[in-house]
Amino acid sequence: MSELHVKTTAFFDLLNDTDLESRRAKARSLLASDLRYVDPHAPEEMWGSEKYLDFLVMFKGKFPELRFQPEEIAAHHGISKTPWTLVKQDGSTFSQGEFVLDWEDGLLIRRIFGFMR
């Protein structure tokens, strides 16, 4: 498994983490401070890891029972693409989409692009 696969899996762990302090610690090791986040369901394009974390807090507050379940990770040249299913507690599907992550030097995510399926 490549380093980008490992780090992309860690990104999904960040998304599913319900503890605010744990999520912030994970974010420090994964997200560039000048992160750019673009998603069709986000209220606006977001700049900065803190703003993205605030968005996750809002999302988890609205949908605490949902978990991102990543599917097959494709990664090369500092980019990873992962289809995902957002799963309810009963195992049923809430929605599906993909994240494309642009990794700065393979270390930190500098851009996240979300797509719905």
pLDDT averaged over 10-residue windows placed end to end, the chain, 117 residues: 91 95 95 95 89 92 96 94 97 97 92 95
pLDDT of residue 105: 85
Each as own residue / partner, the long-range contacts of residues 65-68 (CB below 8 Å, 24 or more positions apart, any chain) are: 65/89, 66/94, 67/16, 68/12, 68/15, 68/16
> Using the 8-state DSSP alphabet, how is residue 17 labeled?
-
Taking the C-alpha atoms of residue 24 and residue 20, their distance in angstroms, rounded to an integer, is: 6
pLDDT (0 to 100) of residue 66: 97
Which residue matches tokens 């507690």? 89
Q: What would the two tokens of residue 47 be?
A: 């700049």
At 87, which helix (H) or strand (E)?
strand 79-87
Determine the pLDDT at residue 88.
97
Structure tokens at 108: 């930190």
Write down the pTM of the prediction: 0.93
